Structure 1
Amino acid sequence: MMCDLEELKEGHAELAAQSGIPPHAPPWLDVEKFNRGRKFFQEYFYSNFLAMFTSLVGGLSVINLLEPLVFTKASDDPRKSWKRYFSTFRHVTCWHYGDVWDNESDAYRSVVDVRKIHNKVAMQMNSSQQPERLYFSQYDMALVQCGFMGCIVLYPEYFGVPFHQAQIDDYVYFWKGMGYLLGISDRYNICNDGYSSAWEKCKAIEQKVLIPALKNPPKDFLRMVEAFIGGANLMWKFKLLSFESVLAFGLEAMGEPRPKLGLTDTLRLYFQKMMVVLVRHCSFFRRQINRNMEMMMGCSKMK
């Protein structure tokens, strides 16, 4: 049963917490469960990364997520986009490999940095944009939270993760904690009530927000997503990915019809699928690609 988003949408009128300093650990925190969620990410690093990457491509069609990126002008060409999104993915990786509850850790400092960035952009946008629109609201942040963990919650096996509800529930709990640290109140934290509730909320966001947005994207969508894909291709020095192939991959995950692809984009799509099969069924390959990604993100230096 899919949940109603009306209560979540009430967060439109409430600003997410904007202090640069995260709150202390909440009284409800179960550190062991939170850390199991971290380990889940580490075990399936590539799958989680692919899910976030795919989610971001689709999520750029959602005006709440797109407008701050357009406003900052920090990701509107491939080189700027690569720098900006690599930094984002590195922050997220740091949260999973470090101790965000230790105020002496790199992970904690990463959370502080992200909150400061959000605070700065929110103040600029809320003072200069439409007065009837509140930017960086609780609702906006809930959508961002869904973008980070929603694909894995909804479609773990499609992204190469064997479905074990307890593991996914631990990962949901991890994002409950991260939502708290990033300024989402318990009322709007989509991970607040465990796996089943998170699944319903993510599914509702997919069906009522994401898919309609993809069918009628805002004017800056294509420009920003092409910059994002172009920036990602700078890693390989050739066009391994395309907007069309990544979008088709995401649409298939959701069970939505994908656009007709040419030969090159079809090969790109099946390359992504082949990688998932290898990660899903070959533990040696999964460990190796995880190590490669850990090296790229500098995980050995994170604490």
Structure 2
Amino acid sequence: MTVKYTEDLRNGKNDEKTPNAFSAAKFVDDLLKDGSKVPCDNTIEEFEVNDIPKFYDAKKYKAGQNFYHKHVFALFFSKFLGLIVTLSSASILAVLIMTKMSSSPMTAYRRYVATIFHVNLWYEHELTPDSKAMKSLRRIKSFHNSASMRSRKIERPPITQTDMVLTQFGFMGFGIARTEMIGVYGATKEELEGYIHFWRVIGSIMGIQDRFNMCRDSLEETREICEELINRVYRPYVAKKDKDFVEMTSYLTDGLWYTNPMLNYRVFVSFMYDMLQPKECLNNNHESYFDLGFFERWYYKILYGLMYSLKYDICRLYHNFHHHLRMWIIHWYPFLAVFKFGYKNAMVSIDINNVKTHAN
């Protein structure tokens, strides 16, 4: 019903008998057109609200956290690929370049390790007005507000609702639209809807208006929005191979290599580009993003095999354990980063108790 309605709209048809049927195409139209005109900083009243949203459901929220912990290796991997794809947006990239916080492997390392620490807090702690998770969210929100206001001061566009939703996709979109391709097998509808609810709540607290929030009550509707964004936004954006995109993604991968030496820029970007292909083309040959060398093609196949192996519980648990071990090393002694960047630069901490006011 929903899919047919979306296809009819694209073909210029509109079933008057179902005027209230959801259309992912219309949702994305609104997001790209009107969402790009609505800032996500303290120039709009909604941004000042720091409360837990009224639609928050503690049971669903907890289900989303549990789902993440059950598939932590795969979903963390999907977030890394989501970070890469988010950088294909020119407006998001412009803000990152302006802040100069991701313009080298070292600064990218520090920025994204801090992001990892913040996101881990959201998954590990309950959501209450004074919880560590809420303090972390307020901290990140203050960073976004500061960056948006700095952009305004130099007469550049602020961070918008569109930017925030495209970033929201980066954190959860592949987990919904390409669930098995990123190594999550056997997920139930309740688990996926809990995951969606988790990110709907996070997005709302960060300033995304309900009108533009891509995480909806329905798994099917959210998945359709993900597909629309993949087809209409991310695949054409990434295909441009913009110079700034290539440069910033290389900094991202090179920086995070010191947290995981298995990262390879060309292989992982090629894998991400594969996930952006239409579903009917996912298992067929298509133009590769990079002309991979022999060893890169070999590693690429291993990566695919790794994602497939996660369908077996023993493999999932093994890689989950290694993920937690890696997080412990990053927290306490990131020896590769210490060797490359020095102890002071390698040790990243987040001060969730020091939150600037929005006016700052």
Is 1:227 aligned with 2:251? yes
Q: Name which of 88, 93, 97 aligns with 2:124.
A: 97
Residue pair 2:73, 2:320 contacting (<8 A) in 1 also: no
**Within 5 A, what are the aligned runs for 1:174-189?**
174-189=198-213
Note the aligned Cα RMSD (angstroms).
2.3
Is 1:151 aligned with 2:143? no
Alignment partner, residue 58 of structure 1 = 85
Q: Name which of 305, 311, 319 aligns with 1:280.
A: 311
Alignment partner, residue 16 of structure 1 = 40
Gap change, CA 1:25 and 1:59, over 3 Å in 2: closer
Cα distance in structure 2, aligned partners of 1:285 and 1:211: 33
Cα distance in structure 2, aligned partners of 1:217 and 1:59: 13
Gap change, CA 1:170 and 1:70, over 3 Å in 2: same
Alignment partner, residue 75 of structure 1 = 102
- What whole-Å deviation, never above 9, does each CA across 1:232-282 have from its counterpart, x for those lacking one? 22235x5x3332201121122233642431112113323322332333312
Q: Comparing 200-209 with 156-165, which one deviates more in the overlay?
A: 156-165
Is 1:43 aligned with 2:62? no
Q: Comparing 262-271 with 155-164, which one deviates more in the overlay?
A: 262-271
Cα distance in structure 2, aligned partners of 1:166 and 1:297: 32
Q: Name which of 196, 214, 227 aligns with 1:203.
A: 227
Q: Name which of 113, 117, 121 aligns with 2:139.
A: 113
Cα distance in structure 1, aligned partners of 2:63 and 2:230: 26
Cα distance in structure 2, aligned partners of 1:44 and 1:22: 32
Cα distance in structure 2, aligned partners of 1:151 and 1:296: 27
Q: Normalising to structure 2: TM-score of the pair?
A: 0.76
Residue pair 1:46, 1:293 contacting (<8 A) in 2 also: no
Amino acid at match of 1:147: G
Cα distance in structure 2, aligned partners of 1:294 and 1:268: 23
Residue pair 1:37, 1:174 contacting (<8 A) in 2 also: yes
- What whole-Å deviation, never above 9, does each CA across 1:154-211 have from its counterpart, x for those lacking one? 0111111113222111101111100111110100000033211111111111111111
Percent of aligned positions that are identical? 22
Residue pair 1:60, 1:66 contacting (<8 A) in 2 also: yes
Q: Name which of 237, 243, 246 aligns with 1:213.
A: 237
Alignment partner, residue 136 of structure 1 = 159
Match of 1:234, SS state, is coil
Cα drift, residue 126 of structure 1: 1.5
Cα drift, residue 297 of structure 1: 6.3
Q: Name which of 251, 257, 264 aligns with 2:295.
A: 264
Q: Comparing 248-257 with 208-217, which one deviates more in the overlay?
A: 248-257
Cα drift, residue 294 of structure 1: 4.8
Gap change, CA 1:266 and 1:125, over 3 Å in 2: same
Cα distance in structure 2, aligned partners of 1:159 and 1:269: 13
Unpaired runs of 5+ in structure 2? 7-23, 277-281, 333-349, 351-360
Residue pair 1:152, 1:159 contacting (<8 A) in 2 also: yes
User: Aligned residue pairs: how many?
Assistant: 295
- What whole-Å deviation, never above 9, does each CA across 1:111-148 have from its counterpart, x for those lacking one? 01101100100000022133xxx321111111111111
Cα distance in structure 1, aligned partners of 2:302 and 2:180: 17
Q: Which has the higher contact order (CA 8 A, sep 6+)?
A: 1
Alignment partner, residue 245 of structure 1 = 267
Amino acid at match of 1:250: M
Gap change, CA 1:129 and 1:271, over 3 Å in 2: farther
Q: Name which of 47, 52, 58 aligns with 1:25.
A: 52
Is 1:122 aligned with 2:148? yes
Q: Comparing 192-201 with 276-285, which one deviates more in the overlay?
A: 276-285
Q: Name which of 105, 114, 121 aligns with 1:87.
A: 114
Amino acid at match of 2:192: I
Match of 1:24, SS state, is coil
Cα drift, residue 17 of structure 1: 4.6
Cα distance in structure 2, aligned partners of 1:232 and 1:75: 11
Gap change, CA 1:245 and 1:287, over 3 Å in 2: closer
Cα distance in structure 1, aligned partners of 2:247 and 2:303: 23
Runs of 4 or more above 3 Å deviation: 17-22, 296-299
Unpaired runs of 5+ in structure 1? none
Cα distance in structure 1, aligned partners of 2:179 and 2:196: 13
Is 1:289 aligned with 2:311? no
Cα drift, residue 28 of structure 1: 1.9
- What whole-Å deviation, never above 9, does each CA across 1:19-50 have from its counterpart, x for those lacking one? 88752222222111111001111111111110
